[in-house]
A and B are shown apart, each in its own frame.
Chain A
Amino acid sequence: MNVEVDLTARESTPRWLAYGAPVFTVLAALAVSALVLLVVDVSPVDAYSMMFYQTITTQIGAAQTLITTVPLVLAGLAVYLPLKAGLFNIGAEGQLVIGALAGTWVGLNVSLPGYALVPLMFVVAGLAGGFLAAIPAWLRARYDVNEIITSLLLSFVALEILSYVVRGPMRGSSGNFPQTAQLPAAARIPELFMRVHVGLFVALLVVAAVSLLMRRSRLGFEITFMGSNDAAAVQAGMSRIKVYLLVFVLGGAFAGMGGISEIAGVQGRLRAGFEPGYGFTAIPIALLGRNSAVQVLLASLFFALLFTGGTNMEIFLGIPAALVEVIQALIILFLITGEFFKRYRIDVSVERGSVTPDTAGGDA
């Protein structure tokens, strides 16, 4: 028997596949994850109903999903914008952390009424995130230093700074925990309902702004062109430094705002490891939503659901946290593989019997 696998690039993606691929791949991932669940003796039906259906339909679950969406969508856009310009910002994590740190510092040390203090915290957080993001962009545009490496490594720098600051200069006076003092009430983001805070509006506004930037502005035209062919863009008079800096600084600023919204809107104080890697989750979010800012929003909602539903499974069904992460990772992995099938066609042909074994090997 001879199995032949043939891989050909698709010239165009059929419409049913473009929309169907994510659905099929998520279902496939859930099917594989079901095996994992069966091993630990949990009914996959219960688990999935808990993870998705009950998370969406209960008020707490839905609210928690929206809360988690805020930092995810902001960090997602921080990866999305550079991606449109053909760059990979792997450092949204660091930009988010540094934004949270700078914003918290303002919240703790500046006394202003809430309507002025919270916007100021957002601005400073944005500036800090934007500054951290500007470094890889500038190095890339000016010296052709790979932005993937620099932005990633700067994330670790930011994480270590956070770790130092909450143990040193900014440690709260109460207790020995590596965390800052509680933010004063004026520095907290107002709540809308069920702990969902105004940060959600900020995130939606940013999505709208990025959408308009990409679809209706000259800068968006330049970013799109630079992302598709930078040599042709430069030939037409566009500036690599300008576009690269712009997408990274804007992206970094969004991630920074995502960081402060998580602190001032949800947690109330800055701790080491205050967030479960939103900035890294932003990468698959941006890859899935790379066609538009609205798609980034949808991808963020889906990932927020995975996070929230995963926590619910852990709490209510006693599924070990590690397994929940395995399930989440499988879904992400399958989704990204699904992108591959959109672009390539795989033909598997099986021939039986017709192939004779190497005749030369038979004699002698």
Chain B
Amino acid sequence: MAEPVFLEMAGIRKEFPGVVANDRVDLRVERGEIHGLLGENGAGKSTLMKILYGLYTPDEGEIYLDGDRLDLDSPQDAIDAGIGMVHQHFQLIPRLTVAENVVLGEREPATPFRPDAESPIPEAVRSNRVVQSVAERFSLGLDAPTRRIQRLADRYGFDLDAGAKISELDVGQRQRVEILKALYRDVDLLILDEPTAVLTPTEAERLFDSLDRLTDEGLSIIFITHKLDEVESIVDRVTILREGKNAGTAVVSEVTQADLAEMMVGREVLFQIEKEGVDLGEPVLQLQNVHADDDRGIEALSGVDLTVRAGEVVGIAGVSGNGQNELAEVAAGIRQPTTGSVRVDGTDLTGAAPRQFVDSGVSFVPEDRLEYGCAADLSVMHNATLKEFRDQRFDGPLGLDYDELEAYAETLVEEFDVRGVEDVTETKAGDLSGGNLQKLILARELDRNPALLVANQPTRGVDVGAIEFIREALLDQRMNGTGIVLFSEDLDEITDLSDRILVIYEGEFVYETTPEEADRDRIGLEMTGGGRAGGDQRPSDRHADVTAAASEGER
């Protein structure tokens, strides 16, 4: 072999009942590079990485690391071989400190028992194997590990206090703790599974800086993503998977985003969305001075005013956890505001039951598809007709005509191009991929031609092809006169689709702009509350119908 390859996965094949998740996939990663792994949902990225991390055993194929053949039966084998993985969902214990989380699962004896420490215990006793093993089992010393963790964190510029509790850290810091967990175990290859999905643009920048420093030190990184701009900004080389097969490997600097998208989807992808002008109609949603608590009873919305007119898309940008979910739920009628009023389509629905919101023409695309959007165990038919089954046209001799329901579900599946449905009454919603499930939910919510659509992160975790489809469906619906509240952490999505943009921070609107005037840096700053200290312009100065109570919240 001419060039030294650090990691080589050759001819990996993994079959699950009914699907070939990886079909003779090859992956070669060089030492010190950031290697992107790009593909739509269901393209086999996760399967490939789970094989590399020892969670799955491949049916065929071989893995070589630094020339040695690896036989990985468990994540422990992978870690021992020097492979670490940071999952999309953090696996940290909030009540423990950074250091405690990092050493979790390792045996760290108390200081007096450590071979390298000053100790009253004689060396001969300490080095005894039995004593060592008992000490490792029954004592825990965090001093030395804490110092080592702190050194590691400082070396890579992680800005972390090893003694801080996880619950005190923000999302970006927590992610760095996850990376530390891997580094502490001396890995040479780090797998990051969609690391930016939970980060703000600023936090993502920081992560990229950290990753650069890691690779400078000789670490190799596999970066799983389906965001093309990330590939462009951080990745050296990228391997693209499509339907479980290699769709090519490219040096990022030599290709365009459009090339990558085409390799990934298998056809040309439109990035520019045409948005036509539309005349705004009557207000379909009016929130006045809405306060609401989150599930723990802590105030999450502190005086929100929002008016959405027919045919208008209002985009709400913000870092997750700043009241977006609560606001979406209040607008959809699932969460009762503690004070303030909610009017839908001119009718006061403050305190009304969710059913009245549904009947008044409110549609809702919840953030968490599986938890709120569908019943994963039930058929596509049940899920497709969830909002419409009360309609008269489904009247049957004994109440409900299931044949009609089935026919209706079939038309929705057809119209919205929901793939992976064999039989609407047999296929379960939970068996659909993320993008197809989201299309199904969107079909259900849009086909009723709602007055108001509350869409919370409609394209999160959805592949490029489906994103394009969903965005176009939203804009089509806007032409039909639906008012849309769009929550998204993706600023491009907000600026592409919205007529007006509001930034939410700590339960209040702190900034308003339009896509034409939008300044990304300013929005990013406002999202993190940075605009408030020197805030020169209040949204209330410019727009009569949106008054973010920023002045009250001034600290």
Question: Could you tell me which A residues sit within 8 Å of B by CB distance?
Answer: 11-12, 212, 215-221, 224-225, 228-229, 231-239, 360, 364
Residue B353 CB within 8 A of the other chain = yes
Contacting residue for A225 out of B353, B356, B382, CB 8 A: B382
Q: Which of B16, B353, B400 contacts A216 (CB 8 A)?
A: B400
- Shortest beta-carbon distance, A196 to chain B, in Å? 30
Complex-state Cα separation, A236 to B354, whole angstroms:
7
Q: Contact between B355 and A228 (Cβ–Cβ < 8 Å)?
A: no
Structural contact, B17 and A12, CB atoms closer than 8 A: yes
Q: A234-B334, A235-B364 are in contact. Are A218 and B400 (CB under 8 A)?
A: yes
Nearest-CB distance from A115 to chain B (Å)? Answer: 28
Bound state CA distance, A12 and B428, in angstroms? 11
- Chain A interface: which of B200-208, B315-323, B384-392, B497-505? B384-392
Does B55 belong to the interface (CB within 8 Å)?
Answer: no
Contact A224 B398 (CB under 8 A): no
**What sequence of 0s and 1s flags, for each residue 455-483 of chain B, a beta carbon within 8 Å of any chain A beta carbon?**
00000000000000000000000000000
Q: Is B378 an interface residue (CB 8 A)?
A: yes
Give A213 Cβ to nearest chain B Cβ, in Å.
9
User: Please, how many angstroms separate the alpha-carbon atoms of A138 and B17 in the complex?
Assistant: 43
Whether B129 pairs with A364 at a CB distance below 8 angstroms is yes
B353, B358, B396, B398 pick with most chain A CB within 10 angstroms: B398
Q: Which residues of B have CB within 8 Å of A218?
A: 389-390, 399-400
Tell me, rounded to whole Å, the shortest Cβ–Cβ distance linking A47 to chain B: 41
Bound CA–CA A219/B16 (angstroms): 37
Q: How far is the CB of B169 from chain A (nearest CB, A)?
A: 28
Report how far A237 CA is from B371 CA in the complex, Å. 15
| Contact sample, A vs B, 7 pairs, CB 8 Å cutoff | A218-B389, A219-B399, A225-B375, A232-B372, A232-B374, A234-B354, A235-B354
Distance between B456 CB and nearest chain A CB, rounded to angstroms? 11
Question: Do B375 and A217 touch across chains, with their CB atoms under 8 A apart?
Answer: no
Chain A residues with CB under 8 A of B416: none
Please measure, in the bound complex, the distance between the C-alpha atom of A267 and the C-alpha atom of B298, giving whole angstroms. 59
* B386 to A, closest residue via Cβ: A236
**Contact of B523 with A by CB under 8 A:** no
- Quick check: A217 and B399 within 8 Å, CB to CB? yes
Interface hits, B349-385 → A, CB 8 Å: 353-359, 364, 366, 371-378, 382
User: Does A217 lie within 8 Å of B400, measured CB to CB?
Assistant: yes
Closest Cβ–Cβ distance, residue B386 to chain A (whole Å): 5
Q: List, in ascending order, chain A residues with CB within 8 A of B353's CB.
A: 237, 239
**Min CB–CB distance A324 → chain B (angstroms):** 38
Whose C-beta in chain A lies nearest to the C-beta of B16? A11
Most chain B beta-carbon neighbours within 10 Å: one of A217, A221, A232: A232
Tell me how far the C-beta of B377 lies from the nearest C-beta in chain A, rounded to whole angstroms: 5
A236 & B399 in contact (Cβ 8 Å cutoff) = no
> What's the minimum C-beta distance from A355 to chain B, rounded to whole angstroms?
13
Q: Which residue of B lies closest to A221 (CB)?
A: B389
State whether the Cβ of B184 lies closer than 8 Å to any Cβ in chain A. Answer: no
Give chain A nearest CB distance to B358 CB in angstroms. Answer: 4
Q: Is B156 an interface residue (CB 8 A)?
A: no
**Given the contacts A216-B399, A217-B400, A237-B358, A232 and B382 also touching, CB distance less than 8 Å:** no
Residues of B within 8 A of A11 (CB): 16-17
Say whether A239 contacts B355, CB under 8 Å: yes
* Most interface-central of B374, B375, B377 (chain A CB within 10 A): B375
6 residue pairs, one from A and one from B, having the closest CB atoms: A237-B355, A228-B375, A217-B399, A237-B358, A229-B375, A216-B398
B402 at the interface (CB under 8 A from A): yes
User: Is there an interface contact between B355 and A238, defined as CB atoms closer than 8 Å?
Assistant: yes
A11→B373 CA distance, assembly (Å): 22
Q: A217-B398, A224-B378, A235-B332 are in contact. List 18 more A-B contacts (CB 8 A).
A: A212-B398, A216-B397, A216-B399, A216-B400, A219-B399, A221-B389, A224-B382, A225-B378, A225-B386, A228-B375, A229-B376, A231-B371, A232-B386, A233-B375, A235-B364, A237-B358, A239-B355, A364-B129
Minimum CB–CB distance for B422 against chain A, Å: 12
Instruction: Tell me the smallest distance from the CB of B104 to a CB of chain A, in Å.
Output: 24
Tell me how many residue pairs across A and B have CB atoms closer than 8 Å: 78
Bound form: Cα–Cα A364–B128 in Å: 10
Q: Is the CB–CB distance between A237 and B374 below 8 Å?
A: no
Chain B 325-361 interface mask (CB, 8 Å, partner A; 1/0): 0000000101000000000000000000111111100
Q: How far is B374's CA from A228's CA once the two chains are assembled, in angstroms?
A: 9
Docked complex Cα distance between A101 and B356 (Å): 42
* CA A36 to CA B376, docked complex, whole Å: 44
User: What chain A residues lie within 8 Å of B358 (beta carbons)?
Assistant: 236-237
Residues of A contacting B356 in the complex (Cβ-Cβ under 8 angstroms)? 237
Q: Which residues of A contact B377 (CB under 8 A)?
A: 228-229
Which residues of B in the span 253-311 have a Cβ within 8 Å of any Cβ on A?
none
What chain A residues lie within 8 Å of B373 (beta carbons)?
232, 235
Chain B positions within 8 Å of A221 at CB level = 382, 389, 400
- Rounded to whole Å, the gap between the CB of A55 and the closest CB of chain B is 37
Q: In the bound complex, how far is the Cα of B396 from the Cα of A343, in angstroms?
A: 35
Which residue of chain B lies nearest to A364 when distances are taken between CB atoms in the complex? B129
Asked if B382 and A237 sit within 8 Å, CB to CB, the answer is no
Taken together as a complex, chains A and B put the C-alpha atoms of A364 and B127 apart, in Å, by 12
- Cα distance, A263 to B393, chains bound together (Å): 46
B7-51 contact mask (Cβ, 8 Å, vs A): 1 or 0? 000000000110000000000000000000000000000000000
Tell me the nearest residue of chain A to B395, going by C-beta.
A218
Give chain B nearest CB distance to A27 CB in angstroms: 28
For A360, the chain B residues whose CB sits under 8 A away are: 129
**In the assembled complex, how far is the CB of residue B451 from the closest CB belonging to chain A, in whole angstroms?**
15
Alpha-carbon gap, A236 to B364, bound state (A): 9
Output the least CB separation between A4 and chain B (Å). Answer: 10
Contact of A231 among B372, B398, B399 (CB under 8 A): B372
Q: Which of B230-274 contact A (CB under 8 A)?
A: none
B101: shortest Cβ distance to chain A, in Å?
28
How far is B402's CA from A221's CA once the two chains are assembled, in angstroms?
10
* CB nearest neighbor in A for B17: A11
With the chains together, A217 CA to B396 CA distance in Å? Answer: 8
Contacts of A217 in B (CB 8 A): 398-400
Q: How far is the CA of A215 from the CA of B403 in the complex (A)?
A: 12
Using Cβ atoms and an 8 Å threshold, which residues of chain B touch A228?
A: 375-378, 382
Structural contact, A237 and B378, CB atoms closer than 8 A: no
B354, B377, B389, most chain A CB atoms within 10 A = B354
What is the distance, in angstroms, from B15's C-beta to the closest C-beta of chain A?
Answer: 12
The residues of B that contact A212 with a CB separation of less than 8 Å are: 398
- Residue in chain A with minimal CB distance to B397: A216
Q: Which residue of A lies closest to B378 (CB)?
A: A228
Is the pair B354, A237 in contact by a Cβ cutoff of 8 Å? yes
Smallest CB separation, B241 vs chain A (Å): 22
CB proximity of A111 to chain B, nearest CB, Å: 38
Chain A min CB distance to B551 (Å): 35
What B residues does A232 contact at CB under 8 A?
Answer: 371-375, 386
State how many angstroms separate the Cβ of B535 from the closest Cβ of chain A: 36
**Nearest CB on A from B10, distance (A):** 26
Q: Please determine whether B334 and A235 come into contact, CB atoms closer than 8 angstroms.
A: yes
A231 to B368, CA, bound (A): 11
| Complex CA distance for A360 and B130, rounded to whole angstroms | 11
Nearest neighbor of B353 in chain A, beta-carbon distance:
A239
Report the bound CA distance from A229 to B441 in whole Å.
15
Q: How far is the CB of A6 from chain B (nearest CB, A)?
A: 11
A229 touches B389 (CB 8 A): no
Complex contacts, A216 vs chain B, CB 8 Å: 396-400, 402
Q: How far is the CB of A190 from chain B (nearest CB, A)?
A: 30
- CB pair A235 B366 closer than 8 Å: yes
A293 to chain B, nearest CB (A): 14
Chain A residues lying within 8 Å of B354, measured Cβ to Cβ, are 234-238
Please measure, in the bound complex, the distance between the C-alpha atom of A212 and the C-alpha atom of B366, giving whole angstroms: 32
**Per a CB cutoff under 8 Å, which of B355, B374, B402 touches A229?**
B374
> Given the complex of chains A and B, what is the CA–CA distance between A152 and B375 in angstroms?
28
Q: Which residue of B lies closest to A236 (CB)?
A: B386
Once the chains bind, are A236 and B387 in contact (CB under 8 Å)?
Answer: yes
With a cutoff of 8 Å between Cβ atoms, the chain A residues found around residue B355 in the complex are 237-239
Inter-chain contacts of B386 with A (CB < 8 A): 225, 232-233, 236
A237 — which chain B residues lie within 8 A by C-beta? Answer: 353-359, 387
